[in-house]
Structure 1
């Protein structure tokens, strides 16, 4: 009986420590590391999760942030998107000089990724994943967003979530914009960018390399021209700030129960998606039809979506390249039927 009592005495202690070690935390301090062993950081309300992951190839490992409550892992930010680890030896840590780095247990002197932080005057630093999905380096005693030493929201990739911005800090001349990934399974930098054009009245421009693919209408004080879809709706409220200090687009969900994201995919398609039960539901597509393709009808051409030919010339104009026009290549546009004298 003495043996049995001893056994039952240690069982609860064993389970106490087991469950205690399984409790998710939301932060790291300089004395801690995050290893690639299924350990993650989870925000306080269990909204976002940060850890190592592989999109499909187990030999490509990344640090990323994803929605905790979405069964289909949907990554919204990746640290080392252009430099994956080739195995599960990764380590995320804060250095003694207050920087964030990813290294490998195989070679800790070789830095896989760094936040390149130059301002290091912070006491009691801590790296924390917030309920907003923002990964921040800050003082553990300071929750003022203006005092963050570094934050992932300043380095967007292909996705905006509530609280992130697309645009410019006009005081510092710093720009935040979206860049597509290489493919659905490869988070490295792709071909497309989606950026706020601040020349004249602001507009938002999609480019493939340097080639413009889409441009919104100018900001008229209420919305971007030609984009009726980007109005307040039952899922999100679009926000545009345009003043002497800032020019940016952002959004907020209508209520805390909604999960949504604004994303540009590897093909340059820009959409606002919301999670609905068991799938992502598309509620907004910026390029709504073929007439949204930039300059598809060329100079003095008119795109008519209801017209099977899609392009016509303005009255008094004719196709610049007759043969190409007949073969449905209208990019050369139109010229005057009668030249000006």
Structure 2
């Protein structure tokens, strides 16, 4: 199983790191060493709310992570403080804590730095132990080499998932959609609206998800891994010079983008216009050629023909002849092992 444990103090500089007792003020930035990412405070369009976030360092300043999406600093400034025990505190202008990483227990000299991966990492510089990292608390964006799934930390299992913004590019408060690795060990990616499934990729077959036959690995390598210490999905560009991102938007659609000299290019989205919503065809219904059909048309018929004429398919299909215990149903027998 791949280890996602970056060491913060390798190559750290004053511009990309905080040491114990230091503060990142509202008008200051942390920069990743490769220059791709910046971390600081920002406002969204039309808002006076202040957020701590990480963005891509270009003309678009595309935000990829937000610390306090559900607890904005209202009509004021903020500061980020690293305590001697390795805990990060986000405070408003009257020194009230609006967000923190939770209690950490550094026995050495903690340091927080913005990595070239686009993640903020807190580690103990004496032992190299990672105390916390922003990839444990994703927002709406999945960057390359970032796990999405379940990881064992100490004696508990951490679930890492994407959460949409309430309004894309405007309000980073967690929205109604989230995307996660299936918890029932089918190892597929599932998008939920609350507790309702709206899209799934189908199980992983070792190379692709079987519900996504057009998926290729010609530009990006996809990995699904599972062991006793957890299960997760991650991806990596085959050309490391190209920046990619996966975004769950506030309408429930997941987009994959890559960046070229002209800006961000949409590579694919799911679901798209050709994909029906999850379970749209109802029980015993299948989606084919742009419409719903009964799974076996000579054995099933639409449960409500009037609804189907009006393209309301959620009622599904039912058998022409109900099952009974004489001539229909499952038959017990032995497997021919030849």
Could you tell me which of 56, 63, 68 is aligned with 1:67? Answer: 56
Which structure's residues are more often helix, by fraction? 1
**What are the ranges of 5 or more consecutive residues in structure 1 without an aligned counterpart?**
1-22
d(CA) in 2 for partners of 1:267, 1:91: 32
What displacement does 1:279 show? 2.4
Could you say what secondary structure the match of 1:149 adopts?
A: strand
Structure 1 or 2, whichever has the larger Rg, is: 1
Superposed counterparts of 1:226-305, under 5 Å: 226-234=211-219, 236-304=220-288
> Within the alignment, does 1:223 sit opposite 2:223 as a pair?
no
| Residue pair 2:157, 2:230 contacting (<8 A) in 1 also | no
Could you say what secondary structure the match of 2:308 adopts?
A: helix
What displacement does 1:98 show? 2.9
Of 249-258 and 206-215, deviating more is 249-258
RMSD of equivalent CA atoms: 1.9
Aligned pair count?
A: 307
What displacement does 1:221 show? 2.3
Note closer, same or farther for the CA distance 1:338–1:243 as it changes in structure 2 (3 Å cut): same
Residue 17 of structure 1: aligned partner: none
> Within the alignment, does 1:53 sit opposite 2:37 as a pair?
no
d(CA) in 2 for partners of 1:298, 1:170: 37
d(CA) in 1 for partners of 2:141, 2:17: 23
Could you say what secondary structure the match of 1:153 adopts?
A: helix
What displacement does 1:51 show? 0.3
Superposed counterparts of 1:31-42, under 5 Å: 31-37=21-27, 39-42=28-31
Could you say what secondary structure the match of 1:173 adopts?
A: strand
Note closer, same or farther for the CA distance 1:74–1:53 as it changes in structure 2 (3 Å cut): same
What displacement does 1:141 show? 4.6
TM-score, normalized by length of structure 2? 0.85
d(CA) in 1 for partners of 2:14, 2:36: 12
Residue 18 of structure 1: aligned partner: none
d(CA) in 2 for partners of 1:199, 1:173: 15
Residue 164 of structure 1: aligned partner: 146
What displacement does 1:59 show? 1.1
Superposed counterparts of 1:58-97, under 5 Å: 58-68=47-57, 70-97=58-85
TM-score, normalized by length of structure 1? 0.84
| Residue pair 1:24, 1:42 contacting (<8 A) in 2 also | no
**What are the ranges of 5 or more consecutive residues in structure 2 without an aligned counterpart?**
1-12, 325-338
Of 43-52 and 167-176, deviating more is 167-176
Could you say what secondary structure the match of 2:97 adopts?
A: coil
Residue 312 of structure 1: aligned partner: 293
